[in-house]
Chains A and B, each alone.
Chain A
Amino acid sequence: MSSAETALRIALVGNPNCGKTALFNLLTGSRQKVANYAGVTVERKQGRYIAPSGRVVDLLDLPGAYSLDAASPDEAITRDVCLGIAAGETRPDLLVCVADATNLRLHLRFVLEVRRLGVPVVLALNMMDAAARRGIRIDIAALERELGIPVIETVAVKRAGARALVERIDGPLPPLPPTGDADLDLHAEVRRLLAATVSMPTRTAATDDAIDRIALHPLWGLVLLGVLMFLIFQSVFSWAEPLMDGIENGIKALGGWSVAALPEGPLRSLLADGVFAGIGSVLVFLPQILILFLFILALEESGYLPRAAFLLDRLMFKAGLSGRSFIPLLSSFACAIPGIMATRSIQDPRDRLATIMVAPLMTCSARLPVYTLLIAAFIPQRTVAGLFNLQGIVLFALYVAGIVSALAVAFVIKRLRRDRSEHALLLELPSYRWPHPRDLAIGLWERAWIFLKRVGGIILALTVLLWFLSSFPAPPEGATGPAIDYSFAGRIGRALEVVFAPVGFNWQICIALIPGLAAREVAVAALGTVYSLSGSDDTIAAELGPLIAGQWPLATALSLLVWYIFAPQCISTLAVIRRETNSWRNVWIAAGYLFALAYAASFITYQITRALTS
C-alpha cells in the first residue's frame, strides 16, 4: 500500500488514566475499552484515520506510564515505542502527550520527560471540562511558550472534543522541542510551570472527598463493598428471570414451528436435537451475562474499583496477592482472558504470576449457564429471611467458594516462594466519574455481540459435531436401548464414566465435559443435545432443567457444581497463561492443580451428599 509509506505515524502517550484511549477512540472511531482506573490499556493498539487534508494518520495508543523508567510490563511497551527500540516498530513521527488538566502536578513531569526524547511533541490537555467545573484556569498561551511545544485543549468524551487537535496534527509538524538542560530538576520545573500558568482553587474535588469519607471508611467502606457485591449476584438472578422466560418461550415456539414443517429424518433430528436443544439452552443466559456486565462496566467507569483495591489490599497481601490484583481478578468474573491480560499493570512479577495462577478460579461468565441450569433444577425457589432468593444465595456462595479457594491457592504459592523481598502497591485513586450511559450501552452491546458470535460460531459448531457423534453410527437392527448408546459419543461417555464414577458423573455428563473444554457454555448445550437424543421423540418440548432434575441424584448435581468452581476447562485460558508468562511449565502447573482440586472437591461433595441423602 502506497499510503502506508506516506502515512503520518503518531503515538498517544501520557500518564495512566488521562484519557488516551478515549481520545484514540474519538479520533479513529474505534471502540477500545475505556474505564476509570490506571492501567486499562496494557498493550499497544493501532488505528488509522484520514485527516481533513486527506493525509493518512496511523495512530498508536500506548499503555499509560508514570515514567519512562518503566516499572511494569505495560510501561515497558510505552518506553520502547517512545525510545524507538520496540521490535518491528519504527519510531513515531510525532508524540501526542496527553495530560489530565485536573492532575497537572503529576502529569506535567511526564510531559517534560517526553519532551527530552528528540521527537516532535504536541501536548493535549485533556478533561478540560472537568477542570473548568473545578475552577481550574490554565493560561494555554503561557504554557505553550514555557514548554516550547504546541498545547491543545481536548475533551475526549465529547464528540467535537478533539477537533482542535485534529487540525493541529494536520498542520506542519511542530519543530523539535527545546532539549534544554539534561540535569533539569523535573519536579522543580513542574512547580515553576504551575506557578506561572495555572490557578487552582482546591487540590482535590469536593465530591471525591465526600464520597471517600464513606467509601474508604474502615467499617462502612467494607460494608458498602460487601453489599455491592452481594447485590450484583442477587440481581443477576432476580432481574434476569422474566427476560430468560421470554427467550426460552421464543426458542421453543420457533423450534416447534420449524421442526413441524420437516419430515422425519436426520435433518429434523439435527435441527431439533442439535441446534434448538443445544443452542437454545445457552442462548437463554444472555440476560444474566448482560446484567453482570452492566454492573462490572458501571463499577469500572465510576472509579470505585481502585478504592476496593485499597480496602482489600491488606487481606489480599496476607493471602499472597496485592490490592493491585483486585481489578484483574474482578475482570476475571467476566472472563479469565482479559483478567490475565490486565495483570500486566502489576509491577511485582511474583504478585503478577500468583494473580495469573488464581484468575481461572474466579467464576467467569461462561460458567454462569452451568451454574444457573443446575441451581434452577435442584435448589428450590424459596425466599430466605423474607428478602433474599435462595437460588441467588447459592450462586453467591459458589462465587465466594471460587474467591476463597483463590486466596488459599495464592497463600500456598506465597509459602512455596523463596524470594521474600518487599512487594509494592503504589496505586493511584482516580476522581469519581458518573458512568456515561452511552459508554455502558456500547459496552453491553459489544458483550451481547461477542456472546451471540460465540453461540453462532464455536458453540453451534461443537453442538453439531456432538450431535453427529451422538447420532452415528446408528443402532444395529433389533436394538432395544436408546440409539445414543450405540453411537461414538455414547461409547466415549461410557469409557470416561469409569474415571468419573467416583465423583458421581454419569456418562451424559462425561460427554458434555469434552466440548466444554473449548467453551464452557457448550457443556450445557451438549447436555441439551445428549438428553434430547437419548429420550423419545417428543423430548424437544421438554426443557433440560426439569429433565435432569428428575434423573440426577442431588449428589451428582452438587458434585458437578463444585467441579465447575475449579475445573481448568478452557483451552483459551491456558493459552493466554502460556502467552503472558511465556512458560509451558506454568500452564501445566495451572491445569494440573485445577484438575486435582476439581476432582478432589467433587469427590468429597459427592460422597458426603450421598451419605447424607441415602
Chain B
Amino acid sequence: MFGYNREPFLFKAYLPVRLSELLPGNTAVVREVEDVGSADPIARRLRDLGFVAGEPVKLVTRGPVGGDPLLVQIGFTRFALRRSEAARVRLQSAGATP
C-alpha cells in the first residue's frame, strides 16, 4: 500500500518523473502536462486547475485501496486525482531550475 513505485530503484537514485510516482508527503515542481491522445480533455482540465510549469505540487496522501486515488495539493487547493490522471503530470528533476 505504501511506497508503491513502478520504477525499479535498485539501479538509480529515486527520482520521480511523474506526479503519480511522487511519495506521500513529498513536494516537487511541475514541468508540463502531457496529452494522452489528441485533444485530451483531462490534460486540458489539469492545466486549467493550475498544473503548469513551475508550479509546486505536493502529494498529500493516497487512497486506502491500491494507493489510488492520490490527494494532491496544487496552489491552495487539494484535488483527488486518479493515478492515470496524475501520470500525465511530468515533474522537473530536482536540480533543474524552473
Contacts and interface: CB of A to CB of B under 8 A. Distances in A.
A203 interface: yes
Interface string B50-86: 1010010000111111101101011111111110110
A177 interface: no
Interface in A322-360: 323
A87 interface: no
A11 to B, nearest CB: 20
B50 A429 contact: no
Contact of B64 (A69, A222, A425): A222
Contacts of B81: 425-426
A105 B77 CA distance: 8
Which among A104, A222, A429 has the greatest number of chain B C-beta atoms within 10 A?
Answer: A429
A71 interface: yes
B8 to A, nearest CB: 24
A160 interface: no
A216 B1 contact: no
B77 A424 contact: no
Determine which residue in B55, B73, B75 has the highest number of CB atoms from chain A within 10 A of its CB, and name it: B75
Contact of B63 (A105, A313, A423, A426): A313
A212 B60 contact: yes
Contacts of B69: 310, 313-314, 323, 425, 427
A106 B76 contact: yes
B76 A103 contact: yes
A67 interface: yes
A309 B82 CA distance: 12
A310 B62 CA distance: 9
B60 A109 contact: no
B71 A109 contact: no
A106 B85 CA distance: 19
A358 to B, nearest CB: 20
Given A66-B49, A216-B71, A313-B63, A427 B84 contact: no
Given A67-B45, A106-B49, A221 B76 contact: no
A204 B46 contact: no
Nearest to B2: A218
A465 to B, nearest CB: 49
Interface in A182-228: 187, 200, 203-204, 212, 216-219, 221-222
Nearest to B77: A106
A425 B61 contact: no
B50 A426 contact: no
B94 interface: no
Contacts of A204: 73, 76, 78
B42 interface: yes
A422 B36 contact: yes
Nearest to A315: B65
Contacts of B71: 212, 216, 310, 429
Given A313-B69, A314-B63, A426-B85, A203 B76 contact: yes
A428 B73 CA distance: 10
Most buried by B among A204, A310, A315: A310
A217 B44 CA distance: 30
A216 B41 CA distance: 28
Given A187-B52, A217-B61, 15 more contacts: A66-B45, A102-B76, A103-B76, A105-B76, A106-B50, A109-B50, A204-B78, A216-B60, A311-B63, A313-B63, A313-B69, A313-B82, A426-B45, A428-B77, A429-B80
29 contacts: A66-B45, A67-B48, A102-B76, A105-B50, A105-B76, A106-B49, A106-B76, A187-B52, A187-B55, A203-B76, A204-B78, A216-B60, A218-B1, A218-B62, A310-B69, A311-B63, A314-B65, A314-B66, A314-B69, A317-B82, A323-B69, A424-B42, A424-B85, A425-B85, A426-B49, A426-B80, A426-B85, A427-B80, A428-B77
3 closest Cβ contacts across the A-B interface?
Answer: A105-B75, A218-B64, A314-B65
